[in-house]
Structure 1
Amino acid sequence: MNVGDHAAEAGHVPVMLGRVLELLAPAVRVTGRAPVYLDATLGMGGHAEAMLAAHPGLRLLGLDRDTVALERSAGRLAPFGDRVTLVHAVYDELPDVLARTGIDRVDAALFDLGVSSPQLDEADRGFAYSYDAPLDMRMDRTQSLTAAEVVNGYPPAELARILREYGEERFAQRIAAAIVRERERAPLDSTRRLADLVRTSIPAATRRTGGNPAKRTFQALRIEVNGELDTWRRALPAALDALPVGGRVVVLSYHSLEDRITKQVLTAQTADTTPPELPIPLPDHAPRFRLLTRGAELPSGDETTTNPRAASVRMRAAERIRAAHPGGCGGSTSHKEIS
């Protein structure tokens, strides 16, 4: 049985698994020490399990903000023993996690962004408009802010902004106004009431195309509740800083807002910043990274057929080719293994 078969039997099919393994493999073929693989969005542990199985000397640092996901992946990864360290943390907390664990760099990093399959499938989490459930949408249930607090407490203008910016919703103003009218009658506390309200708030012609009309509103609320975009703007640069020369990062994004941030950060890191008026490139301004993908890679047709949730994924990857500064993580020879 290969690792893909094992992952499927566990009830969770990791997205673009073969390509992730292919892209990260060169970064973890390190001699003389145990390489470290950061899975910053551990989820059900499918990618992590495959990486550990493929590279017997590899050690895993797995992060997730969802305590339920951590508990489940801990069981799945138990056969790998002390090669596994799991931490309850949001991925923008990586610098603090590295400091606490005594790890000064990671050789490979994966970010599989967005909501996980179990979060969507468990009705009581409130992520899905296809179930009737409390309006929750917290990836980390130890935090206080919920989707119900957003829809019932935010001012109309702020609601409209969230729907417009995070959901790219054309009818943000109409939906926000409808939410405000409805909550004045009774607090909005269920996914079904919200989904029905969104559907009746937009023109009938629009409702007939493009899938469930509540999709964009639910995406926007989820991003707001979990601070996803601001977190991602902090997290990716932090992960790049933790990579040594030869280290690699792979990012799986599921909507254009995440992918746009990824593209912007990686483009900046792969650019030569020598002032244009100078006749020759300056070594200190040379690119720190090189892209491993041409644009955003898409999943194969076969994968989207067998795993429909992979249909919207966009993959980008990069490799560090120059140290950030002398003595920094890209040039350091010291390394603290996970213990």
Structure 2
Amino acid sequence: MEFHHVSVLPEETIEALAIVPDGIYVDCTLGGAGHAGRIAARLSPAGRLVGIDQDETAIAAAQERLAAAHCRISLVRDNFRHLPAILVAEGVHAADGVLFDLGVSSPQIDTAARGFSYMQDAPLDMRMDQRAARSAYTVVNTYTAERLTEIFYGYGEERWAKRIAAFIVEARREHPIETTGALVGIIDRAVPKEVRARGGHPAKRVFQAIRIEVNEELTILADALTAAAEVLRPGGRLAVITFHSLEDRIVKQTMRQLARGCICPPEMPVCTCGHTPLLHLIGKARAADAAECAANTRARSAKLRVAERI
């Protein structure tokens, strides 16, 4: 299957990065190279783009789509949690811009065999990096009811988390839960009929929660954003696109923390910490306009936050 992914907020993101033709830019979530292609098109032969993605399908697609780029290109199959080590290995000591386009990509959802979608029956997988040991199967079949409840509520904000977890544990006593279809059936039985009738697929939040747990999407985010800010040269930009409130909250809080000056307790009469801000926040979060949302439903929940290295 072709890796076809429509990037959200494409022009807004390029504008936010304030691209310098001879600069160095890092796309930490390469995907189908939609944003990366736009960055590369604005770079001179002296410019450089480093693209990172843990999905080998994305890397292959990006290699093809960036083949005609005039700038220097480096593509790395890895998780952005390792950003400092990746940049050291690539000889990048300072960057002019770093981009994160978070969440799951359209091709990952649309490829049934990857197990991301609750709309298609497939093996329980959900690994963005196929080399990873932990999959959705592992989570669903080995986690305790208490841990499943925590994940469903914490990562999916699912109000029926405890009941769904109990139904899963009961079902797997008979035999392992091996497919997305089987899991959807269990969730459907666990969620009361009157709740299901009010709209929205009953498995949506649970699948989101499992995916986040499998790929550790939230636990690695704050450290990765901090590492990205630290590698920026003065005037360099950090741009982050989020798709749900949990990751957006982390991005917002991390950027605010990196933009703080004094971190002394409020009762201290004089600053003694000597802490200086690393970033300057650029405007408020930006959302996709009506035209983009109509053309790409995934854009409806997207938010773009931008900051500049001081």
Say which of 9, 29, 38 aligns to 2:20: 29
Establish whether residue 16 from structure 1 lines up as the match of residue 9 from structure 2. Answer: yes
1:325 is aligned to none
Instruction: Give, as a single letter, the amino acid of the residue that structure 2 aligns with 1:53.
Output: A
- TM-superposition CA deviations, 1:41-62 (whole Å, max 9, x none): 0000000001111233531000
Q: Does 1:287 align with 2:280?
A: no
Equivalent residue for 2:160? 171
The corresponding residue for 1:216 is 205
1:202-224 superposed Cα distances (whole Å, 9 cap, x missing partner): 11221123411100000010011
Q: How many residues align?
A: 305
Alpha carbons 2:31, 2:62 under 8 Å: kept: yes
Shift of 1:144: 1.1
Query: What does residue 302 of structure 1 align with?
Result: 291
Residue pair 2:281, 2:308 contacting (<8 A) in 1 also: yes
- Structure 1 position 110, deviation (Å): 0.6
Pick aligned residue for 2:43 from 44, 52, 55: 55
Structure 1-normalised TM-score?
0.86
Deviation digits for residues 56-75 of structure 1 (CA, Å, limit 9, x no counterpart): 35310000011111011111
Gaps of 5+ in 1: 1-9, 322-339
**What whole-Å deviation, never above 9, does each CA across 1:98-150 have from its counterpart, x for those lacking one?**
11111101110110001011101101000000111100000000111110111
Aligned equivalent of 1:74: 63
Q: Is the 8 A contact 1:105 1:243 kept in 2?
A: yes
8 A Cα contact 1:290 1:319, kept in partner: yes
Q: How big is the shift at 1:29?
A: 2.1
TM, length-normalised to structure 2:
0.94
User: Which of 81, 95, 102 is equivalent to 1:113?
Assistant: 102
**SS of residue paired to 1:133:** coil
Where do residues 90-239 of structure 1 align in structure 2 (5 Å cutoff)? Answer: 90-239=79-228
Following TM superposition, the consecutive aligned residue runs of length 4 or more in structure 1 with deviations greater than 6 angstroms are none
Indicate the RMSD between aligned Cα atoms, in angstroms. Answer: 1.8
Amino acid at match of 2:112: A
CA distance in 2, matches of 1:106, 1:278: 38
Q: Which residue in the other structure is 1:336 paired with?
A: none
Whether the 8 Å contact between 2:13 and 2:304 is mirrored in structure 1 is no
Indicate if the aligned counterparts of 1:62 and 1:87 stay in contact, CA closer than 8 A. Answer: yes
